[in-house]
Chains A and B, each alone.
Chain A
């Protein structure tokens, strides 16, 4: 049996909408298989993982708390990936944004007024954007591979955070715990209701809408897509690839940084040695599951947030390791990529060697 790809004359519209759904379904099937192999009741585990988190108000709220940073980061990444710039260091930009944004409440706690929060958010976005500028500038100036540079900077950012919370930024009154002092009320985002969900939810939705308008309705959006799909055509149109690299990295870095400071000023309330359960990497999956479309990314962010909560849920109720969450996330990206093939190609299975008298096509 062999698999033959037949190029479609046009993108399949049906498959464009259907492929992420098929991918999620295949991921659930594989997860069920995994649960069964590990000797658990697969049906029950699937229910606990994918359905139960959506059935009560508390976990729905936790879902949104996790979805917000994912959506913010993934929206920025979509601009990068559409324009063929491979920023995979959003995790580092998230951390750097959180650090830059925390400068005010940690080092200048006396500066405590209505301006604190807006400035923190501004610093956060700027910190992330500047950190993302490093791989962008190295790419356009020295032709350096942006994938590797942005990834290396993730390790550097995490080590910087670790150094600060254990060293100079540690709360002097904190019994030697590696944490900064708790932020004051005016350095915290207002919450929605009385839980952990903050108004960052509105920011995520606004960003998704704005970016989808940018992509669909503006010249910049056209430029992003042209340079991504055909750099040569883009050059003929007078678009600059280098400027686009800087733009894409700064937008995605800025949004990752904003997500970082919103996470700290929204749900954590202080800096800790680890402030992200891999949001920057999971957001890559969110971006692809959302097919690089900001509005679809909102839905995709919810799905990936579900994997975090689902992992906690099966651990708490069935004793399955919550590490299953990252396995499910990894499988999901595989299936998403595999299913996207259906958009451009028809897949035909040929049985037997080759048709008699025909040529062998490999």
Chain B
């Protein structure tokens, strides 16, 4: 029982984790991309479509990542080169992504999907509990863990991470030091787009292997909230994502039990929980102000 629940929690948490860790990198570079939901849904539809047309889950994953990156490149161009308002542009990205995915996905409604193979190691995967939980996941779950470790290490220990944080905390000084603020930010935005696309691909290739319009159902927005929850620290994103994964799974189980509670109330729990968490974290100024990138959301135009 516990094993089964833990497995579903991992499945529910992975898309949140992927999207949030990508957005964390973006925000650490000083850019606020509110288009996570749009990039995720485009990743979902593209991943599904590519996997369906080619019969290859790997190509599906690559397609999902590519779609997220393509949309984020558009965002990056507007926000970094044309210095548009980041909030509005992010919203535009989400609206465009939702619209475009609906259009592309129309041909795939009701089409049976392709589910990613889970890892099956000869002896290890058969171990009780440890086997299915640690050695029996699909590849994207492992990728999500690897990405978190890589990001945590890179941010804290490498020169690239230092450059990224410098650009996010004080773009004028970073520019004066000869760092290319816009290039760093553009790469960060692309990374975030790739992660969001992958998160979407996970939704349509592993979580529920089918295409349903608006299937990300606000997960991109919850991922944005998770970055705040994590106060911009990678490890806390893991905690937050798994916490929210648990809440989602809990609502499923509560719905199955029924017990007279309206299903709509249970479905709204993740959104209400997001608000509660935001309130708890944001009211603690010490927690938020330490790591909030100082230049978050501020445009940068290089002087001549």
- Identify the A interface with B (CB < 8 A): 3-7, 86, 88, 138, 141-145, 147-149, 151-153, 155-156, 159-160, 162-163, 167, 281, 284-285, 288, 321, 323-331, 333-334, 337-338, 340-341, 344-345, 347, 361-362
- Find out whether the CB atom of A155 lies under 8 angstroms from the CB atom of B271: yes
CB distance from A273 to the nearest CB of B (A): 10
| Chain A contacts for B262, CB-based, 8 A | 163, 167
CB distance from B49 to the nearest CB of A (A): 15
- Find out whether the CB atom of B78 lies under 8 angstroms from the CB atom of A338: yes
Any A CB within 8 A of the CB of B254? no
- Find out whether the CB atom of B91 lies under 8 angstroms from the CB atom of A88: yes
A330-B95, A340-B84 in contact; A155/B100 too (CB < 8 A)? no
User: How far is B267's CA from A143's CA once the two chains are assembled, in angstroms?
Assistant: 26
10 sample A-B contacts, Cβ–Cβ < 8 Å, listed by A number = A7-B301, A144-B278, A148-B228, A156-B268, A163-B264, A334-B78, A338-B82, A338-B84, A341-B84, A362-B180
Q: Taking chain A's interface residues, is the majority helix, strand, or loop, or is none over half, making it mixed?
A: helix
| Chain B contacts for A148, CB-based, 8 A | 221, 224-225, 228, 274-275, 278
- Identify the B interface with A (CB < 8 A): 34, 74, 78, 81-85, 87-89, 91-92, 95-100, 102-103, 106, 180-183, 217-218, 221, 224-225, 228, 262, 264-265, 267-268, 271-272, 274-275, 278-279, 282-283, 285, 288, 301-302, 304
- Determine the residue in chain B with the shortest Cβ distance to A327: B99
> Which single member of B87, B97, B218, B302 contacts A86 (CB below 8 Å)?
B87
A3-B81, A147-B87 in contact; A330/B96 too (CB < 8 A)? yes
- Find out whether the CB atom of A345 lies under 8 angstroms from the CB atom of B106: no
A142-B279, A333-B92 in contact; A323/B99 too (CB < 8 A)? yes
Q: Taking chain B's interface residues, is the majority helix, strand, or loop, or is none over half, making it mixed?
A: helix
User: How far is B15's CA from A252's CA once the two chains are assembled, in angstroms?
Assistant: 33
User: How far is B285's CA from A156's CA once the two chains are assembled, in angstroms?
Assistant: 27
- Determine the residue in chain B with the shortest Cβ distance to A157: B268
- Find out whether the CB atom of A145 lies under 8 angstroms from the CB atom of B272: no
- Determine the residue in chain B with the shortest Cβ distance to A142: B283
CB distance from B144 to the nearest CB of A (A): 22
- Find out whether the CB atom of B282 lies under 8 angstroms from the CB atom of A337: no
User: How far is B273's CA from A156's CA once the two chains are assembled, in angstroms?
Assistant: 11
Most chain A CB inside 10 Å of its own CB: which residue of B217, B268, B301: B268
User: How far is B89's CA from A334's CA once the two chains are assembled, in angstroms?
Assistant: 7
- Determine the residue in chain A with the shortest Cβ distance to B288: A143
Most chain B CB inside 10 Å of its own CB: which residue of A151, A153, A288, A361: A151
- Determine the residue in chain B with the shortest Cβ distance to A320: B103
14 extra interchain contacts, Cβ-Cβ under 8 A, other than A155-B268, A321-B106, A331-B96?
Answer: A4-B304, A138-B278, A144-B279, A148-B228, A152-B272, A159-B267, A288-B88, A321-B103, A326-B95, A330-B97, A330-B99, A337-B89, A337-B92, A338-B84
| Chain B contacts for A361, CB-based, 8 A | 302, 304
User: How far is B83's CA from A338's CA once the two chains are assembled, in angstroms?
Assistant: 8
| Chain A contacts for B264, CB-based, 8 A | 159-160, 162-163
- Determine the residue in chain B with the shortest Cβ distance to A287: B88
CB distance from A136 to the nearest CB of B (A): 13
| Chain B contacts for A7, CB-based, 8 A | 301
- Find out whether the CB atom of B221 lies under 8 angstroms from the CB atom of A5: no
A148-B278, A330-B95, A362-B302 in contact; A337/B100 too (CB < 8 A)? no
User: How far is B264's CA from A159's CA once the two chains are assembled, in angstroms?
Assistant: 5
> Which single member of B98, B283, B288 contacts A326 (CB below 8 Å)?
B98
- Determine the residue in chain B with the shortest Cβ distance to A139: B282
| Chain B contacts for A334, CB-based, 8 A | 74, 78, 89, 92, 96
- Determine the residue in chain A with the shortest Cβ distance to B34: A147
| Chain A contacts for B279, CB-based, 8 A | 138, 142, 144
A163-B262, A163-B265, A361-B304 in contact; A156/B271 too (CB < 8 A)? yes
CB distance from A216 to the nearest CB of B (A): 22
| Chain A contacts for B81, CB-based, 8 A | 3, 5
- Determine the residue in chain A with the shortest Cβ distance to B279: A142
User: How far is B279's CA from A318's CA once the two chains are assembled, in angstroms?
Assistant: 50
- Find out whether the CB atom of B83 lies under 8 angstroms from the CB atom of A341: yes
Pairs A-B, 5 closest by C-beta atoms: A330-B96, A326-B99, A163-B264, A333-B92, A142-B283
| Chain B contacts for A152, CB-based, 8 A | 218, 221, 225, 271-272, 274-275
- Find out whether the CB atom of A149 lies under 8 angstroms from the CB atom of B278: yes
> Which single member of B82, B88, B96, B304 contacts A327 (CB below 8 Å)?
B96
| Chain B contacts for A141, CB-based, 8 A | 283
A326-B98, A333-B91 in contact; A362/B78 too (CB < 8 A)? no
- Determine the residue in chain A with the shortest Cβ distance to B301: A5
- Find out whether the CB atom of B282 lies under 8 angstroms from the CB atom of A144: yes
User: How far is B304's CA from A176's CA once the two chains are assembled, in angstroms?
Assistant: 68
| Chain B contacts for A5, CB-based, 8 A | 81-83, 301
- Determine the residue in chain B with the shortest Cβ distance to A282: B95
> Which single member of B82, B275, B288 contacts A138 (CB below 8 Å)?
B275
- Determine the residue in chain B with the shortest Cβ distance to A7: B301
User: How far is B279's CA from A340's CA once the two chains are assembled, in angstroms?
Assistant: 34
| Chain A contacts for B288, CB-based, 8 A | 143
- Determine the residue in chain A with the shortest Cβ distance to B82: A341
> Which single member of B95, B283, B285 contacts A329 (CB below 8 Å)?
B95
User: How far is B87's CA from A148's CA once the two chains are assembled, in angstroms?
Assistant: 11
- Determine the residue in chain B with the shortest Cβ distance to A168: B262
- Find out whether the CB atom of A159 lies under 8 angstroms from the CB atom of B268: yes
- Find out whether the CB atom of A324 lies under 8 angstroms from the CB atom of B103: yes
Most chain B CB inside 10 Å of its own CB: which residue of A3, A149, A281, A337: A337
CB distance from A230 to the nearest CB of B (A): 14
User: How far is B282's CA from A4's CA once the two chains are assembled, in angstroms?
Assistant: 38
User: How far is B288's CA from A344's CA once the two chains are assembled, in angstroms?
Assistant: 33
User: How far is B243's CA from A155's CA once the two chains are assembled, in angstroms?
Assistant: 20
- Find out whether the CB atom of A143 lies under 8 angstroms from the CB atom of B96: no
| Chain B contacts for A326, CB-based, 8 A | 95, 98-99, 102-103
- Find out whether the CB atom of A281 lies under 8 angstroms from the CB atom of B282: no
